[in-house]
Amino acid sequence: DIYVNERVYLSEKETGNRNRSLAYFMKSTGILDGDVEEILDLYFKQCSIEVSARDLARFASVLANDGVIPWTNERIMSREVCRIVKTIMVTCGMYDASGEFAVHVGIPAKSGVGGGILAAAPRKYGIGIYGPSLDETGNS
């Protein structure tokens, strides 16, 4: 089941002015199609999904295995989508520390301001951790 934390969702929605301005800018340049407020509402809900470190590790293991759930062998994402997601994770998943993380750790990872990090060791395993303290770049 997916659980959206209503308190976090409402906070994201109320304080998301930067995201709102960026979305309207993307709409004005033709990058974003559709109703901006509807898209933002979905984005704010996605930002408010509660997961455990175990959930993060499971998500990461699917990415590590190119879209296949390792414990069922079911493909749920295409290889191409996984390749794109992992590339974005390497280039900006760790915020301003992404380059340094890529050099020193070398695997795709994504940090969240809620304290969770997921990482995908290609064709090996997924990692999910939780550490609520954030550093100056917004990473756990």
Owning domain of residue 121: 52-130
In sign, the C-alpha dihedral spanning 25, 28, 29, 35 is positive
Q: Do 14 and 78 fall into the same domain?
A: no
pLDDT bin (cut points 50, 70, 90) of residue 139 is confident
pTM: 0.84
**Co-location of 123 and 64 in the same domain:** yes
For 11-45, write each residue's pLDDT tens digit.
999 999 999 999 999 999 999 999 999 999 999 99
In this structure, the answer to whether residues 42 and 58 fall within a common structural domain is no
Do 89 and 118 lie in one domain? The reply is yes
In a domain, 45, yes or no: yes
Quick one: 26 and 42 in the same domain?
yes
φ/ψ region of 67 (left if φ > 0, alpha if ψ in -120 to 50, else beta) reads left
Residue 136 lies in a domain: no
Is residue 44 in some structural domain?
yes
- Summarised one tens digit per residue, pLDDT across range 48-74 is 999 999 999 999 999 999 999 999 999
* Spatial contact of 108 and 86, defined as CB atoms under 8 Å apart: yes
Residues 9 and 75 in one domain: no
Render pLDDT for 112-126 as a digit per residue (tens, 0 to 9). Answer: 878 899 999 999 999
Are residues 28 and 63 located together in one domain of the fold? no
- Regarding whether 77 and 27 lie in a shared domain, the answer is no
Could you give the CA distance from residue 43 to residue 11 in angstroms, rounded to a whole number?
13
